[in-house]
Amino acid sequence: RRVVYLNAASRTPMLRRVYDVGVAAVARKLLPWTIDDADDDAAAVRALFARLLCATGGDVALAPSCSYAVSVAARSLAAARRVASGSELLVLQDQMSSNVYPWQALAR
């Protein structure tokens, strides 16, 4: 039995358009004091992603990292008292600790 494991998510060739947009975004940081439309960019990204979900831009939050977003979600549930102490929460097997510890803390 042959097994082929392909984990190329970070090494897959990107589209030329994606490359061009990435280069332009990095180039903007050469003169960061000229960036005045960051909020407009964020709103546009949120609106585009929301379209994929049949939602609105107001339904989408941007976070600097997944671990930050998971922590905010867990703390928000705790603040709203949506999870009782001692609850059992399911987390997928082999998750990074940043996606386990916030849920463990919430269930305490």
pLDDT given at position 37: 64
Q: How deeply is 102 buried, as exposed, middle or buried, from its count of CB atoms within 10 A (0-12, 13-18, 19+)?
A: buried
The Cα 3–Cα 8 span in angstroms is 16
Cβ atoms of 91 and 103 closer than 8 Å: yes
The Cα 17–Cα 25 span in angstroms is 12
Q: CB within 8 A of 5, min separation 6: which ones?
A: none
Residue-by-residue pLDDT tens, the chain, 108 positions: 776 656 666 677 788 999 998 998 899 888 888 877 666 788 888 999 999 999 999 999 988 888 999 999 999 998 998 888 888 888 888 888 998 999 999 888
pLDDT given at position 14: 82
